[in-house]
Structure 1
Amino acid sequence: MKKLLVSSLLLLAGVMPVIAQEDAENSKDPAMFTRMPGFYIYRYDDIQFDRFEFRTGGQKTEAVEGHSLFIDYWLRENMQPPSGLQIVRNYTNAMKKIGGQVIYEWEDGGSQNTTMKLVKGGRETWVYVYAVEQNYTINIIEKEAMAQDVVADASSMAKSINETGKVAVYGIYFDTGKSTLKPESIPTLQEIAKLLKTDPALKLYVVGHTDNTGTFDANIKLSLDRANAVVDALVSQHGVNAASLNAWGDGPTAPVATNSSEEGKALNRRVELVKQ
C-alpha cells in the first residue's frame, strides 16, 4: 500500500509541471505579436476598459486609458532561457517592423523594460514589456474613450434645460466620419423622447458638434447630418412630434474642451439640445 502511494505521488509529481505549463484558460497572444519560443502564458487579463501608467522617460509617465491586456509569460522547464535584453529587443524590433516606435527603454535591478507606441488606422496602442531571463510580462492599452454606460435621464435633461437653456448629450454614438446612429444610442434617444412627451410645449434645436479632425466644411456637414439623424430617429422610431425639433450643425465651432487631447476631442463630439 505504501509503495502504491509513493508511486502515485511520484506520478503526480511528474505530471503537475506539465499541466502547470499549459497556457492559461482562454488566453492567447496579442494580435500584434507572437511570443518568445519556449514560453507559456501563466496569467491572462483582458479588461474592457482600464488605465495604465506608461513610463516615457526618467520619472515621467503618461496615463493611458482604454481596452487593457495583461499577459504574464514563463519559460517552460528544460528550455534555454534568453536574456531579458534579448526578449525586449525581439519586441522592439517587431514593433518597428509594423510602423511603431520605441518611446523609452531602461534597466531596473536586472530587469529590462521598454515602452512602445503604435499609431495606425486612427488608433493608438501603447505597450510596456518587462523582462528577466525566465519571465516577461506585456501590458497593452488600446487607447479609447470609455463607452458611456450611464446616460442622463429625462428629468436631469429637463433640469439642465430649465437652468441653462441647453443640455449636452454624450450617449449618442456614430462611427468615425459617419452619421448613422449606432444601436448603443437607443437608451439616450428614449430619454429624449420621454423629455419631449412629458412637456409637449417644449421645442428644441438638436445641435451636432464635432472635434477639429478633418476640414471645416466636412465637419459642418457631418454635424448637421448627425443632428438630422437624431431628429429622424426621434420622430420615426420614438413617436416625437416633428414640429418640436429643428436640426442644426455647429461643426467644430463651439468646443467645450481642448482639441489637443483625445479626451478633449471626445467631449467636443456631442449632441446638444437647445431650447428654442
Structure 2
Amino acid sequence: MTARPLFALLLCAAAPFAFSQMPPKDTVSGAKDHPLLSRFEGAKLVGYQVKEFDEAVLPAGKRVADKNGQPAFEQTLTLEGKHTRIAYVFPKERSSLEVMRNYQAALDKAGFKTVFACAKENCGSAFGEFWNEKRVSDNFIQGGEIAYAPFNYGRMEPRYLLAKGATKDGRPVHALVYTVAPVQDKNGGLYLEVVEGKAMEGGKVSANLDAAAMAKGIAAEGKVAVYGVYFDTGKSDVKPESKAALGEMAKLLQQDGKLKVYVVGHTDNQGVLAQNVDLSQKRAEAVIKALAADYKVDAKRLSAKGVASYAPVASNDADAGRQLNRRVELVKQ
C-alpha cells in the first residue's frame, strides 16, 4: 500500500471537524434578514437573493412520481410578486424540529395558515434532492463547504412548511421554511422563501394606445381602456410616466371637439372596497385635472367616476388579472 503523506492525513482528519464549525459571520455581503421572518438564534446567513417582481413556483404537496415516472410534486403554487430567498446554517446543537417549531409558532402568531407541511419520509421520495438541485445548490450558497455541507449531508432528513398570510393592506404573502437536520457532526441547514404579492412596477416600457386607436375603440365599443396612466400604490397623484398616455388622450379630445367622455377609474379587489371606491374616484378626478391644466382640454367635456373593482376585465385571483383590472377608461357620454 502506498503511504499517504502526513499533511494529507492531517487534512482528512481535520476536514470533518472544520465542516462542523459554524461560519464566524454571514458569508453574503449586503444581505439581511427578511422583516417578516427573522433568523433562528445563532444562525449565519449563507445565501441571499431578492427579486422585486418575479414568478415563483412553491411546492404544496409531497414529492411523487408523475405518470412518466419522473419526480414531481402532488401540487404546486405559482405566484408572482417580490420574491426573497435566504439560506442559513444553524448550530449542530439545535435540532431541525426545534427550528421548524419556532418558525411555525411565529407564523401562527402572525395569522398565517398552513398550506402544506411534512417531515422526513412523509415529504416523499427525493424531497431533499429537489432542494439541493433547485434552491440550495452550491451556486446559491456562498462560503464554501462549511456553508453548503449542512444542506448536502442533511437532505435525507428534511422538514417543510408552506404558509399563507396577508399584509396589513390585504396583499397576500406566502412563506416557506425548509430545514435539514444536523447529521454526521455537521451543522443544520435552514432555507426561507417569501413571496409578497405586489403590482409590477409600470412605466418601464411604453406601449400606449395612440389617439387613433382610442378613437376606434370608442367608435366600436363606446369605451377604451388606457393602461399608461400610473399612480403609486394607494395614491391618486398622476405620475410623470403618464405623460405619453395623457398626451394621446388629449389629442383624441382635441381632434373631436364634440366628444364628451366619462373618465372612469378602476382598481383591483385588493384592500378595503370603500377605500378603493374613494381612491378610484380621486384618480379619475386627477386625470381630468391633468388634461385640463396641462393640455387645455375643457373640463366640462369630462366627468369623473370611480368604480373600484366593480367592473373587472379579468380574474382578481392572480396578479396578471389584477394588473389588467387596474386601469383608466374613457367612456363616451
TM-score scaled by structure 2? 0.65
CA deviation string 1:6-59 (max 9, x = no partner)? 9xxx9xx9xx99996422111111112221233211111111111212233441
Per the alignment, residue 158 of structure 1 pairs with 212
2:85 aligns with 70
Contact 2:262 2:305 in 1 (8 A): no
For 1:269 and 1:194, the matched residues in 2 are separated by 19
Shift of 1:253: 4.2
Q: State the 1:230 CA deviation.
A: 0.6
Q: In structure 1, which of residues 107, 126, 138 is the aligned counterpart of residue 174 of structure 2?
A: 126
Q: Does 1:267 align with 2:324?
A: yes
243, 247, 261: which is aligned to 1:193?
A: 247
The alpha-carbon distance between structure 1 residues 69 and 194, as it changes in their structure 2 partners (threshold 3 A), is: same
CA distance in 2, matches of 1:249, 1:21: 60
Give the match for residue 55 of structure 1: 59
Q: Which moved more, 1:159-168 or 1:122-131?
A: 159-168
Q: Looking at secondary structure, tell me which structure has more strand per residue.
A: 1
CA pair 70-259 structure 1, distance change in 2 beyond 3 A: closer
Amino acid at match of 1:111: P
CA separation in 2, counterparts of 1:220 and 1:98?
Answer: 29
Output the amino acid matched with 1:187.
E
How far did 1:126 drift? 0.9
Q: Is residue 145 of structure 1 aligned with residue 190 of structure 2?
A: no
SS of the aligned residue for 1:104 comes to strand
Counterparts in 2 of 1:21 and 1:242: CA distance versus 1, 3 Å: farther
**RMSD of Structure 2 on Structure 1 (CA):** 3.3
8 Å CA contact 1:168, 1:271 repeated in 2: yes
Given the superposition, is the C-alpha separation of residues 86 and 221 from structure 1 closer, same or farther in structure 2, using an over 3 Å criterion?
closer
The answer as to 2:94 corresponding to 1:36 is: no
Q: Which has the higher contact order (CA 8 A, sep 6+)?
A: 2
Per the TM alignment, residue 231 of structure 1 is displaced from its structure 2 partner at its CA by: 1.0
Q: Secondary structure at the match of 2:34?
A: coil
| Aligned partner of residue 200 in structure 1, secondary structure | helix
Kept after mapping to 2: 8 A contact 1:161/1:274? no
Query: Structure 1 CA distance, aligned partners of 2:276 and 2:166?
Result: 23
Please tell me whether residue 82 in structure 1 is matched to residue 129 in structure 2. Answer: no
Taking a change above 3 Å as real, the CA distance of residues 154 and 186 of structure 1, as seen in their structure-2 partners, is farther
Q: Secondary structure at the match of 2:54?
A: strand
Aligned to 1:173: 231
Which residue identity lines up with residue 177 of structure 2 in the other structure? V
Give 1:87 shift.
1.8
1:99 partner letter: G
Residue by residue over 1:42-95, the C-alpha shift from the partner in whole angstroms, topping out at 9 and shown as x without a partner, is 1111111112122334412211111111111124xxx43423222221111111
Measured after TM superposition, the shift of residue 198 of structure 1 is 7.6
The size of the alignment, in residue pairs, is: 255
Match of 1:22?
A: 25
Q: What is the DSSP-based 3-state SS (H/G/I as helix, E as strand, rest coil) of the residue aligned with 1:117?
A: strand
Structure 1 unaligned residues grouped into runs of 5+: 1-5
User: Which residue type is aligned with residue 87 of structure 1?
Assistant: V
For 1:42 and 1:221, the matched residues in 2 are separated by: 46
TM-aligned CA deviation for residue 100 of structure 1: 1.8
**Partners of 2:214 and 2:252 within 8 A in 1:** no
Tell whether 2:168 aligns with 1:110: no
Q: 1:246 aligns with which of 302, 306, 313?
A: 302
Report SS of the residue matched to 1:129: strand
Give me the whole-angstrom Cα distance separating, in 1, the residues matched to 2:253 and 2:179: 62
Deviation per residue, 1:165-218 (Å, 9 max, x gap): 543223322543x5x225xx32223332245348732344422224456557x7
Contact 1:224-1:247 at 8 Å conserved across structures: no
For 1:260 and 1:116, the matched residues in 2 are separated by 17
Normalising by structure 1, we get a TM-score of 0.77
